[in-house]
Amino acid sequence: MWTDERVELLKKLWAEGLSASQVAKQLGGVTRNAVIGKVHRLGLSGRATPSRPARPRAPTPRTLTHVRGRPDPLVADRADETDEAEVTMKRAEQARSEAENFSSSKELTTVLTLTEHICKWPIGDPGHPNFHFCGRGADHNSPYCAEHSKLAYQPMQPRRNRERRKDFA
């Protein structure tokens, strides 16, 4: 039951930034949904503070390795220092340069000329007329050639590998 005192307490708690669940607990005898409904009927929109302040997240350093545990040649010397985005950019640049070398020596593969056994790695901007696909022979059970498969399928992170080993032990 919404008495005048409970409505005033609801307004006060809502203005302090408490969530609907927190307000319901403090009021007692009402659900979170009842609090939300009453807030809307009263037209209470803004809050003094957010119900849950955002916490800054510290970036976690990651090291990349190839599937068989060998260090990635792009980050072998500085695996701990290299930012994951930087590695991704280097790989993308490498793929672009390989694609430019490859596409200049062969006909362009378009959506109309794709087949099941052709690499479907997109090259260029789909909005431009020179957009095409890699066109090399695709690996068995993969939509990409060997070079583009290396870019598309990233190895599992070492931490996830350790967690999986614990699950199976």
Identify the pLDDT of residue 153. Answer: 79
Identify the pLDDT of residue 130. Answer: 84
Judge whether residue 72 has pLDDT over 70.
no
Judge whether residue 48 has pLDDT over 80.
no
Identify the pLDDT of residue 64. Answer: 47
Q: How far apart are CA 78 and CA 72, in angstroms?
A: 10
pTM, two decimals, is 0.34
Identify the pLDDT of residue 159. Answer: 67
Judge whether residue 52 has pLDDT over 80.
no
Q: How far apart are CA 9 and CA 5, in angstroms?
A: 6
Q: Please answer whether residues 119 and 108 qualify as being in contact, where contact means their C-beta atoms are separated by less than 8 angstroms.
A: no
Lowest model confidence (mean pLDDT) among 12-26, 54-68, 98-112: 54-68
Residue 12: C-alpha distances to residues 7, 15, 47, 116, 124 (Å): 9, 5, 10, 64, 57
Specify the higher pLDDT residue, 44 or 76: 44
Identify the pLDDT of residue 7. Answer: 93
Judge whether residue 144 has pLDDT over 80.
yes
Judge whether residue 137 has pLDDT over 80.
yes
Mean pLDDT (whole number) for 31-35: 93
Mean pLDDT (whole number) for 115-141: 86
Specify the higher pLDDT residue, 35 or 70: 35
Judge whether residue 103 has pLDDT over 50.
no
Q: Please, which residues bridge with residue 105 across strands? A: none
Identify the pLDDT of residue 165. Answer: 67
Judge whether residue 25 has pLDDT over 50.
yes
Specify the higher pLDDT residue, 95 or 37: 37
Residue 121: burial class (beta carbons within 10 Å; 0-12, 13-18, 19+): buried
